[in-house]
A and B are shown apart, each in its own frame.
Chain A
Amino acid sequence: MKSFINTYRFSLVFLMIILFMALINLSLATNALGIAFDNILTMLGVIPPIFILIGLLDVWVPKETMIRYMGDSSGLVGLFFAFLLGALAAGPLYAAFPVAAILLKKGARFAYVLFFLGTWTSAKIPLLLFEMTSLGVHFTLIHVSSMLVMYFIGSVLIEKALQPHEKKAILLRLNTI
């Protein structure tokens, strides 16, 4: 019971806030719960299959293969795969974390994984047409091209900022998840 409260302490606080909102105006609370419910539906649309794909990748792709294609000395091939993985997917940011985690765990280079996250959050091919029709062709082209260039630079910078022992700590942490 105590550990349950500890694990869900933030959830309980937020539920209390929603309860408080219900006391002021019932529609506020139902609106908040409705948005939360919508988000859970979106999540169920992407998270379970992503975890299954990650599980399969985990058991089928040996570490050596990942290192060859996305490891420290994979060069442009690694960059290309990072881009491809990020651009072809179309899920929310949090769905990218477990994917990035398995890539790191299997020996992918930090900069490529960061670039993968950057691509995931700015250049989704399945959504490009949609962005163009909503916000305009120019807007979309500037968005995608400027973000990709900046993330490419940022990935290298952030990788440099992480000390070898910090990278090791991240990999150790990932092994416990």
Chain B
Amino acid sequence: MTTTIFYSSAVLLLIISFFKDRAKTQKALKKAWNSFLKLIPAIVPMVLFVGIALTLVSPEIISRLLGESSGLLGIFAGATLGSIAMMPSFVAFPLGQNLLNNGAAYPQVAVFIATLMAVGISTLSIEVKYFGRKFTLLRNIFALVASFIFAFLIGVIL
């Protein structure tokens, strides 16, 4: 779905751009290709790392770690796992539902989902490449704190 939208809008705009100005369009494609090439050395290790991490820590292990009586420790486990793991949202949401059905508690799953989407330890090297250390560190720490507050709210309200 997302893929279709992204690809069709890219192709459509490329065609429009091509008819308006050939040279500019070529320049745009060249820029796109160059940034893609530069990203590859950062993507390959990230993907391998996430593959290893998610193999060693299976969904069953995760739901046990985030169980109803796991308390504060479960919150920290959820935050750690969420910060390290990387998966698309359309995989993460059903996984969260699955964890809840398997006996995980709401705040623990909340912090896991929130950090999964907002905190990226596996992608730190890419983020630093773009924005430098301080920006990256501040953004991730803030996202982590926000995720904890969100989990607290879920615990209080739900």
Contacts and interface: CB of A to CB of B under 8 A. Distances in A.
A46 B120 contact: no
Nearest to A17: B52
Of residues A21, A42, A126, which shows the largest number of chain B Cβ atoms within 10 Å of its Cβ?
A: A42
| Main secondary structure on B side of the interface with A | helix
Of residues B30, B35, B41, which shows the largest number of chain A Cβ atoms within 10 Å of its Cβ?
A: B35
Interface stretch (A68-76, A77-85, A94-102): A94-102
A58 B130 contact: no
A135 B111 CA distance: 13
A36 B9 contact: no
Interface in A100-159: 100-101, 114, 117-118, 121-122, 124, 126-127, 130-131, 134-135, 138-139, 142-143, 146-147, 150-151, 154, 157-158
Given A49-B10, A51-B35, A170 B135 contact: yes
Given A121-B118, A121-B143, A122-B118, A51 B90 contact: no
A162 interface: yes
Contacts of B139: 114, 117, 158
Of residues B100, B131, B149, B154, which shows the largest number of chain A Cβ atoms within 10 Å of its Cβ?
A: B131
A40 B47 contact: yes
A37 B54 CA distance: 13
| Main secondary structure on A side of the interface with B | helix
Contacts, number: 234
A93 B32 contact: no
Place the interface of chain A in its size category.
Answer: 35 or more
Contact of A94 (B14, B114, B126, B131): B126
Nearest to A46: B6
Place the interface of chain B in its size category.
Answer: 35 or more
B28 A122 contact: no
Contacts of B114: 122, 143, 147
A138 B44 contact: no
A8 B40 CA distance: 10
Given A55-B32, A142-B158, 17 more contacts: A10-B45, A21-B52, A43-B47, A48-B7, A49-B3, A53-B13, A54-B32, A54-B35, A60-B28, A97-B123, A97-B127, A114-B139, A121-B117, A135-B96, A142-B150, A154-B143, A173-B130
Interface of A: 7-8, 10-11, 13-15, 17-18, 21, 28, 31-37, 39-40, 42-43, 45-56, 58-60, 90-94, 97-98, 100-101, 114, 117-118, 121-122, 124, 126-127, 130-131, 134-135, 138-139, 142-143, 146-147, 150-151, 154, 157-158, 161-162, 166, 169-170, 173-174, 177
